[in-house]
Structure 1
Amino acid sequence: MRLTIKSTVTLHSVVYYSCGYFVTSYGERLFLAGTQSCRDTGRKRRSAQASTFDQGGNLPAVRSVNERGVSPVRHNLRMKIAVLGATGQTGQFLVNQALQQGHTVTAIVRNPAKLTIHHALLKVVEADIFSANSLKAHFKGQDVIMSCLGFPTSMLSAVTGYSQSMSAVISAMREARVNRIVTMTSWYTEPDSGRQSPFIIRFMLLPMIRSLLTNMYEMEKTLQKTDDINWTVVRPPGLKNQPATAQEFLTHEGYFVPDCGSSVGRGDVARFMLSLLSSNAWVKKGVAMTTKQYE
């Protein structure tokens, strides 16, 4: 039996809990009291990095060397981007923002009819995300692959979609000679990272979605074993169906952002993922992210 929440419209699998509520795969929320969100308290978070972007997800054209000693690329570079999971809610934010920034986007989908976005720089193609042969033709000529793929959790069977699709994606990238990918997973994918989470997350939510997080972690480990792929794994907390804001990002090289229990809008996740095209700071790394929230 799959764990579900009854909404006014349909049934969706619970995929995350954060900031006082369970979040479903379509962003619907079931609130629980007594949790703390991440607020701007004026404290310095040594383990978190804050970065400022505008509402469209844009970096300044030129920035100074960052804390990692890597000079970001100029933002006005236009790229050819292949997007996986483009019909999902985060994927649609990413496609829209990429087009607004002037990138050329190839949306690789299972059902083209589900993507209602129309733009001169957008091409929508159909492919099997589990087949390298199906993907490689659409990867040729791309500068970067960006994945917002998501798979439902189940109480009866193990989740395998993340690792299986990534194996196909990596094979297709090698055949198409594309070596850059930005993908998303979640906070707490590493099995022991949840020990520092709030009680209700550690003992109620994480056991329910452990199969989902385990497969995300397996996918991350697959990427870590590659020598020829410049990958970045973006780990957001609970997802809300909200557009991009101008809020600062808080980032941490780990499996969650310390002292922050906030959720984050899908638009801001897309904004952050696209910002990585302008920087080498997180290449071959996983980065937990959220946005700073103000009282």
Structure 2
Amino acid sequence: MRIAVLGATGRTGRAVASAALAAGYEIVAYARRPEAVVRSDGVHAVAGELDDLGAMTAALAGCDAVIVALGVKATHPNAPVMRTAMRTAISACRAAGVRRIIVLSALGVGETLASTRFPYRLVVRTALIAPFRDHVAGESLLVGSGLEWTTIHPGLLGDGPATAHPLVADGAAGRPAPRWPHTERADVAAVMLRVIDDPATFGRRLLVLSVPQAS
């Protein structure tokens, strides 16, 4: 399987690429700075901006799926990263004939806010309000796009080892998450790859937490 990864130079994107390579997948790393992509057999770095439809379409040619693992820099919290990326990615997927797209989101974005509790919910409504609004704007474009999409909603991200059985739940169900929800990037990567061929996850928002069950 050939997978395009947007955001492959970030910590979550690198975790996704590493897990995908370990699973025997071929990776197309689409990045503004291809020199920052971790080089390895099976990884093809492609230069391009998030708003460059031609470059992204060319990068997606021959891919079976796209994983979007982008994040907003703390120094630019108001940057329209997801609005820009999703508009281009959706058009590029259509042009390249790619139907499957999995997008990194966050717990508290959109309807998953119902699963949050104090004090994390306070942080979502204050410090994270700008990037979360950008996520909502970008992810809303997936609905009605005709693509087989899934959004992944982790808690606060960490770089620890993978959890044996991370909690994966329907984000629309309003299942209470821990007060300070935590998710390892390794778990995000594992779940993204696990659901890549699962039609039951198409059009779904999935909570991913590094706990055996919410508490």
TM > 0.5 fold call: yes
TM-score by length of 2: 0.89
Greater relative contact order (Cα < 8 A, sep 6+) = 1
How far apart in 1 are the matches of 2:139 and 2:29? 23
Q: Which residue of 1 aligns with 2:10?
A: 88
TM-score by length of 1: 0.66
Q: CA deviation at 1:104?
A: 1.1
Q: Which residue of 1 aligns with 2:23?
A: 101
2:104 corresponds, among 184, 189, 211, to 184
Instruction: State whether residues 108 and 121 of structure 2, in contact with CA within 8 Å, keep that contact through their aligned partners in structure 1.
Output: no
Q: Which residue of 1 aligns with 2:182?
A: 263
How far apart in 2 are the matches of 1:245 and 1:165? 30
Instruction: State whether residues 240 and 263 of structure 1, in contact with CA within 8 Å, keep that contact through their aligned partners in structure 2.
Output: yes
How far apart in 2 are the matches of 1:240 and 1:283? 26
How far apart in 1 are the matches of 2:155 and 2:163? 16
Could you say what secondary structure the match of 1:222 adopts?
coil
Structure 2 unaligned blocks of 5 or more? none
Q: Which residue of 1 aligns with 2:158?
A: 240
Instruction: State whether residues 254 and 288 of structure 1, in contact with CA within 8 Å, keep that contact through their aligned partners in structure 2.
Output: no
Could you say what secondary structure the match of 2:152 adopts?
strand
Q: CA deviation at 1:229?
A: 0.8
Instruction: State whether residues 129 and 168 of structure 1, in contact with CA within 8 Å, keep that contact through their aligned partners in structure 2.
Output: yes
What is the root-mean-square deviation of aligned Cα atoms in Å? 2.2
Could you say what secondary structure the match of 1:172 adopts?
helix
Q: CA deviation at 1:148?
A: 0.4
Q: 1:171 to 1:202 in 2, by over 3 A?
A: same
For residue 202 of structure 2, what is the amino acid of its counterpart? V
In the TM superposition, 1:1-295 aligns within 5 A as 79-119=1-41, 121-153=42-74, 158-190=78-110, 194=113, 197-226=116-145, 228-254=146-172, 257-261=175-179, 262-293=181-212
Instruction: State whether residues 106 and 123 of structure 1, in contact with CA within 8 Å, keep that contact through their aligned partners in structure 2.
Output: yes
Could you say what secondary structure the match of 1:208 adopts?
coil
**Number of residue equivalences:** 212
Instruction: State whether residues 230 and 284 of structure 1, in contact with CA within 8 Å, keep that contact through their aligned partners in structure 2.
Output: yes
Structure 1 unaligned blocks of 5 or more? 1-78
Determine which structure has more spread, i.e. the larger CA radius of gyration. 1
Q: 1:195 to 1:180 in 2, by over 3 A?
A: closer
Identity fraction in percent = 25
How far apart in 2 are the matches of 1:80 and 1:250? 25
Flag the structure with higher helix content.
Answer: 2
How far apart in 2 are the matches of 1:122 and 1:204? 37
For residue 92 of structure 2, what is the amino acid of its counterpart? A
Q: Deviations over 1:62-109 (max 9, x none)?
A: xxxxxxxxxxxxxxxxx1101110010011111011011111111111
